[in-house]
């Protein structure tokens, strides 16, 4: 009857309205893949609800990092490779502080502010935008997450706050840096692109070589634009003259620049047929030059392939993590007799920088005595050719390399039994 058809139509419209409300209250499932004010996304929906770039190359949503732990991230859809994360980063822990599975959400509020909140409602991250109720969030084909106001002006974009990765045409600029652990890629005040180790005890530049000035390192410090980017043909170009050309250079290949946890930054190209990322360029060739790689008191050794090891009478604090340092199995105190100690030679080894003292043209015996008679000295490096003596009270950036014209000597108890730990 007409009445029944009318009732059925009303029920259908009510159902459709309810469904539409549900879709709008979460992330739009429309082809535009946008978030509008009032929209939100929950970690519970991470398997099925996310923002997708129009060409489907990139996805944005909640990325699982633990059983009950998620980050709000952008990733390459096919490989699930994360390229940006909103959550705050903890260098000491080496990971982004996650939110919980239940009760957390990312929402675009009525003020136009994109907010990530944890289970208890506490704000974890925000875009700090206030563009009003006609604000739209979208994910572009470039992998850039953007917030547009009512006039379609970009008021915030993820490209301006990278984490550990640069995507093609994303610019690394002044006051912007990539970071992974304690390692940073940034433009220094002299306009040179550098790699820095900024650890809990020390801060030191390791690339380009701190032994040479900008010109000897092939850099131009007079270009103050301070910008670097990766183009779509596999060229990473910096305003200071540094350049990496991908070994598979050419258009049509998905690429990224990432500073890895080991402190090197590399160019990766996607081998689509093998479904894996391939290193096609890198900044640091000799990995032992990366500061902090083997932690405090650790030595980076190339003699049998790249590996970290602890000096004699030192052991790893955490056998799974060299960043947690090597610690001595003994103590050196001011009240201990100096003749309780001796030295163990480490051929062609040195701990770069942070010398307690340096003396030239002195004998090996004199250098030995200087360190032995100082309770602050725990090691010394001696170069026999010119008689340079470097005493040390803090040991970082330890390296063993065959052509180093000197040797390191570690202060150990006379009861030293010859033990040492080593891990590849």
Q: The domain that contains 71 carries what CATH number?
A: 2.90.10.10
Q: Which residue has the tokens 């944005």?
A: 60
Q: Please report the DSSP string for 286-325 in residue order.
A: SGGGSTTTT-TT-EEE-BTBSEEEPPTTEEESSTT-GGG-
Q: What is the pLDDT along the chain (424 residues), one digit of tens a residue?
A: 555 555 555 444 444 444 333 333 444 444 347 899 999 999 988 776 579 999 999 999 999 999 999 999 999 999 999 999 999 988 877 788 999 999 999 999 999 999 999 999 999 999 999 998 889 999 999 999 999 999 999 999 999 999 999 999 999 999 999 999 999 999 999 999 999 999 988 899 999 999 888 888 999 999 999 999 999 999 999 999 999 999 999 999 999 999 999 999 999 999 999 999 999 999 999 899 999 999 999 999 876 667 899 999 999 999 888 878 899 999 887 778 888 999 999 999 999 888 999 999 999 999 999 999 999 999 999 998 899 999 999 999 999 988 889 999 999 999 876 544 433 3
Q: In what order do the strands lie in the sheet with 407-413?
A: 341-347, 407-413, 379-383, 388-392, 355-359
Q: Is residue 6 located within the same domain as residue 119?
A: yes
| Three-class secondary structure of residue 81 per DSSP | strand
Helices and strands, counts by H and E, the chain: 2, 39
Q: Is residue 366 located within the same domain as residue 222?
A: no
Q: Is residue 273 located within the same domain as residue 188?
A: yes
Q: Which residues pair with 219 in a beta bridge?
A: none
> What is the reported pTM?
0.86
Residue 397: C-alpha distances to residues 137, 287, 354, 393 (Å): 44, 11, 10, 13
Instruction: Give a yes or no: residue 165 inside a domain.
Output: no
User: In angstroms, rounded to a whole number, what is the distance separating the alpha carbons of residues 249 and 246?
Assistant: 5
Name which of 403, 401, 405 is nearest 390 in CA terms.
405
Instruction: Give a yes or no: residue 166 inside a domain.
Output: no
Phi-psi region of 117 (alpha: psi -120 to 50; beta: other; left: phi over 0): beta
Instruction: Give a yes or no: residue 292 inside a domain.
Output: no
Q: Is residue 253 located within the same domain as residue 186?
A: yes
Q: For 373, phi and psi rounded to 5 degrees?
A: -90, 5
Name which of 327, 203, 195 is nearest 266 in CA terms.
195
């Amino acid at each position: 009857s007409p009445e029944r058809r009318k009732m059925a139509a009303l029920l259908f419209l009510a159902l459709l309205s309810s469904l539409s409300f549900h879709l709008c209250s979460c992330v739009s499932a429309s082809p535009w893949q946008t978030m509008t004010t009032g929209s939100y996304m929950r970690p519970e929906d991470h398997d099925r609800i996310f923002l997708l770039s129009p060409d489907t190359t990139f996805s944005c949503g909640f990325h699982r990092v633990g059983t009950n732990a998620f980050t709000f991230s952008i990733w390459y859809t096919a490989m699930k490779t994360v390229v940006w994360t909103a959550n705050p980063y903890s260098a000491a822990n080496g990971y982004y502080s996650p939110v919980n599975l239940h009760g957390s959400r990312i929402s675009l509020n009525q003020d136009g502010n994109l907010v990530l909140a944890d289970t208890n409602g506490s704000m974890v991250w925000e875009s700090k935008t206030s563009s009003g109720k006609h604000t739209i969030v979208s994910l572009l084909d470039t992998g850039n997450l953007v917030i547009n106001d009512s006039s379609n002006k970009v008021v915030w974009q993820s490209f301006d706050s990278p984490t550990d990765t640069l995507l093609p045409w994303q610019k690394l600029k002044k006051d912007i840096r990539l970071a992974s652990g304690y390692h940073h890629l940034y433009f220094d005040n002299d306009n040179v692109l550098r790699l820095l180790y900024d650890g809990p005890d020390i801060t030191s530049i390791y690339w380009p070589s701190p032994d040479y000035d900008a010109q000897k390192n092939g850099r131009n410090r007079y270009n103050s634009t301070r910008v670097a980017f990766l183009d779509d043909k596999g060229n990473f170009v910096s305003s200071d003259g540094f350049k990496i050309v991908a070994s598979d250079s050419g258009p049509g290949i998905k690429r990224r620049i990432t500073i890895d946890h080991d402190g090197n930054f590399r160019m990766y190209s996607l081998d689509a047929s093998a479904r894996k990322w391939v290193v096609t360029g890198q900044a640091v060739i000799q990995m032992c030059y990366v500061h902090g790689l083997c932690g405090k008191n650790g030595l980076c050794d190339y003699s049998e392939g790249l590996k970290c090891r602890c000096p004699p009478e030192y052991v790893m604090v955490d056998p799974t993590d060299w960043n947690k340092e090597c610690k001595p199995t003994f103590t050196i105190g001011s009240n201990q007799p100096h003749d309780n100690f001796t030295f163990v030679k480490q051929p062609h080894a040195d701990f770069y920088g942070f010398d307690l003292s340096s003396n030239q043209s002195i004998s090996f015996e004199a250098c030995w005595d200087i360190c032995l008679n100082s309770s602050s000295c725990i090691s010394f490096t001696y170069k026999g050719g010119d008689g340079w003596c470097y005493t040390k009270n803090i040991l970082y950036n330890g390296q063993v390399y065959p052509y180093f014209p000197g040797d390191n000597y570690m202060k150990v108890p006379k009861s030293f039994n010859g033990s040492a730990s080593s891990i590849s």
